Structure 1
Amino acid sequence: MGARTFVVIGGTSGLGLAVARLLVDEHRVAVLGDVPGEVAAVADELGCAGRICDVSSYEQVRDAFAEVVDRYDVIDGVAACASMWAGGDLAELSPQRIRRAVEINALGTTYVFKEALHHLRRQGHGNLVYIGALAVTKPRPGIPIYRATKSYGSSLVQSLAEAQHSNRIKVMELHPGPMPTRLQERVGDEFLDKIYALPEQVAAEVVRLLLLAPDDLYVSGELVLRADGRW
């Protein structure tokens, strides 16, 4: 299908950055992040488009997608990689941190899906890949807010996938286990399994899903890979 256009939400570090790196040599990539210096550095390093976007703001998400469409006319795929860690016993979490986790992991995911699907439906094709978490399928102590907010995204994927009524628009999710990323550094080594996948390995699977053609196999709504290193 030649060069295509992809938006990587949370593409300035970790898995999102690994996804952008795999795509950028052959495709047009727009990286979205909420730290201006990081967005500028990644855009310069990869030679791709960059846009400052706090996903908790619907207006910023809407305007970021509109800018990509204005620039490239089409969006072939979206990788929703933005996420906020909120670990710790519920009693120990501040109301501010709880609110921010909900704003990014739940509201932000909703806004990204809303705008992504708006443009994919307008075009009549495209892929949306949500990066969930293995914690959704395997409860772990000490992460009630993180797991709850990531479970929200997973539920959203399943409902929206069913609502498309077409294989031309695929809504998919991938649940990585703990990986050595910046988010993992914030989590702490106690949550890093003895067996784990590297961001580059998981990114290859994300890219495979993003590159699925409209007439490829129907996988919308499926949990395609339990990417915790146990391949």
Structure 2
Amino acid sequence: MSQTVFITGASTGIGRETAKLFQARGWNVIATMRTPENEAELSKLDKVRVLRLDVTDEASIGDAVAEGISAFGAIDVLINNAGFGAYGPLEATSPETIRRQFDTNVVGLLAVTRAVLPHMRRRGQGTIVNISSMGGRVAFPLGSLYHGSKFAVEGLSEALAYELGAIGVRVKLVEPGMTKSDFGSRSLVFSADESMPEYAALVKGTVEAFATLPAAETSDVAEAIFAAATDGKDRLRYPTGDDTNMFIDMRRQQDDEAFTQSLKRMFNM
């Protein structure tokens, strides 16, 4: 029997590419998104079920999980991919954006995981792949909210790996860096305030530094997700992309003071 993967945030970018890769390799795919009525490609593929799910709406989560299990009989792999990014000076960021950052990346991820866990626990098997970021291992200027949420994903995933390993469920972290997707235009909010010119130089230096980083193809990230989901190993972290590996290596090789100075030079601070 074919195995089944359940993916959140499958309407664009990494999520869409991952859904297509699993389908091409013979899997049943439950591709979830906030507006499935706008989906024209995935819904036409064999063995793909497109369902509505908003990670901030628990009712939609429960409905999608139940419908997916009803359609294919089981969920073997959960990929928590839905995400949101808030950048900019903290004092220029609205309370609504702050809440959205953590409601999407942390609370929503936990809600989807909790909805799938009873099914995996009863079966005594399953794999959960949480999409983190190189921003869950190192932090950059103006990213207090985004990095805070991804550091949280790293910590909760590490703890869950022990907890769920006891019931036969593996937990994995995939950590992409810069990626050639429309995440920036669709799921990232940059907050700024012209009445705070003190931040202008930092904003300029940060934008310029990010522009120099190499960006991976979404297909490369999808391959890393597939490997994490299917390799059968107890390995937790899967860094993906040249920039991710560069920053993680820097962090390992340097103490806090040296690493901080390296980043300040990179961001022209």
Secondary structure of the structure 2 residue equivalent to 1:16: helix
Give the Cα–Cα distance (whole angstroms) in 1 for the partners of residues 165 and 213 of structure 2.
41
Please say if 1:199 is aligned against 2:192: no
Percent of matched pairs sharing the same residue: 24
Please say if 1:65 is aligned against 2:78: no
Structure 1 residues 193, 49: CA separation in 2 closer, same or farther (over 3 Å shift)? farther
Give the Cα–Cα distance (whole angstroms) in 2 for the partners of residues 65 and 178 of structure 1.
30
Please list every run of 5 or more consecutive structure 2 residues that lacks an aligned counterpart in the other structure.
191-206, 246-269
Please say if 1:160 is aligned against 2:160: yes
Match of 2:234 among 210, 218, 225: 218
Structure showing the higher helix proportion among its residues: 2
Please list every run of 5 or more consecutive structure 1 residues that lacks an aligned counterpart in the other structure.
none
Q: 1:107 is matched by which residue type in structure 2?
A: V
Q: Which moved more, 1:62-71 or 1:178-187?
A: 178-187
Give the Cα–Cα distance (whole angstroms) in 2 for the partners of residues 173 and 117 of structure 1.
17
Give the Cα–Cα distance (whole angstroms) in 1 for the partners of residues 52 and 233 of structure 2.
34
Q: 1:226 is matched by which residue type in structure 2?
A: P
Please say if 1:151 is aligned against 2:167: no
Can you list the C-alpha shifts for 1:94-141, whole angstroms capped at 9, x where unaligned? 111111112111110110111222221121111110000111111100
Please say if 1:116 is aligned against 2:116: yes
Q: 1:16 is matched by which residue type in structure 2?
A: G
Provide the TM-score with structure 2 as the length reference.
Answer: 0.77
Give the Cα–Cα distance (whole angstroms) in 1 for the partners of residues 115 and 156 of structure 2.
14
The CA deviation at 1:172 is: 0.7
Give the Cα–Cα distance (whole angstroms) in 1 for the partners of residues 126 and 165 of structure 2.
13
Please say if 1:228 is aligned against 2:241: yes
Q: 1:150 is matched by which residue type in structure 2?
A: K
Give the Cα–Cα distance (whole angstroms) in 2 for the partners of residues 61 and 162 of structure 1.
25
Can you list the C-alpha shifts for 1:155-198, whole angstroms capped at 9, x where unaligned? 11111111124483111111110111111346597435532321
- Whether contact under 8 Å (2:172, 2:229) holds in the other structure is no
- Answer with 1 or 2: which has the greater Rg: 2
- Whether contact under 8 Å (1:134, 1:228) holds in the other structure is no
Report the count of equivalent residues.
223
- Whether contact under 8 Å (1:178, 1:193) holds in the other structure is no
Alignment match, 2:193: none
Runs of 4+ in 1 over 4 A off after TM superposition: 186-190
Secondary structure of the structure 1 residue equivalent to 2:42: helix
Aligned residue runs from structure 1 range 1-150, under 5 A: 2-25=1-24, 26-38=26-38, 40-47=39-46, 48-150=48-150
Give the Cα–Cα distance (whole angstroms) in 2 for the partners of residues 73 and 91 of structure 1.
48
Give the Cα–Cα distance (whole angstroms) in 2 for the partners of residues 36 and 164 of structure 1.
31
